[in-house]
Amino acid sequence: MTPWPHPIIAREGWPFVGGSVLLAAVVWALWGFAASVLFWLIAGFVLQFFRDPQRQVPAGDGLVLSPADGRIVRVVETHDPYADRPALLVSVFMNVFNVHSNRVSVSGRVQNVQYFPGSFVNADLDKASLENERNAVVLDTAHGTVTLVQVAGLIARRILCYVGEGQHVSAGERYGFIRFGSRVDVYLPLDAMPKVVIGQKVSATETVLAEFRAS
């Protein structure tokens, strides 16, 4: 996969940005600026939602990078249902004001991609991990299996994933997008050492979620 060059606005957003700006301009032309203020505010919200800034990959070996901007809502040992193994789960919740471009946490090869239809409860809730619509990417890495799960939220209605089985991906590489509020679950080997706590704000690629122990 060729990394997306991050041109400030995500490619997924151009139809929404263009449509909202066009609507605001039409209302302004027909009924004046005062009538168009609300539509310009909506266009501004859409523009900020689809921003896709460049991120710097931290230097170091054995780092697990955050796959998304947002807030940590879970750090717990649990069962990874996608790779059928015990795992350390770190969950990042994204609200509508966060960047929603998803990045790869650890370099490796895509073992498989699994899509599951489901409901759309608040992604801040623990049950969203197993009940909501979601897409899981299972990676074979130098440190063991790592599973990245994009989870739809209360108003999110579209999960986009751009990687496929057998593909090699690099840490920090853009691999997907979720529209309008959601979460990403990261399942790691149990020997990974968490570096974040519940409630902490994180940035995609730039925040280290965990580290693998040196072999």
Active site residues: 182
Closest CA to 161 of 112, 213, 93, 210: 112
For the chain, the straight-line distance linking the first and the last C-alpha, in angstroms and rounded, comes to 29
Residue 199: how many other CB atoms lie within 10 Å: 8
Closest CA to 107 of 56, 67, 80, 78: 67
Structure-block tokens of residue 23: 């609507």
Question: Alpha carbon of 148 to those of 67, 83, 113, 206: distances in Å?
Answer: 8, 11, 10, 17
Classified as helix, coil or strand, 39 is helix
Q: Are strands 182-188 and 208-211 parallel, antiparallel or unpaired?
A: unpaired
Residue found by looking up tokens 């170091």 in the block: 60
Residue 182: how many other CB atoms lie within 10 Å: 33
Residues in contact with 33: Cβ distance below 8 Å, sequence separation at least 6, in sequence order: none
Between helix 14-31 and helix 33-49 the angle, nearest 10°, is 170
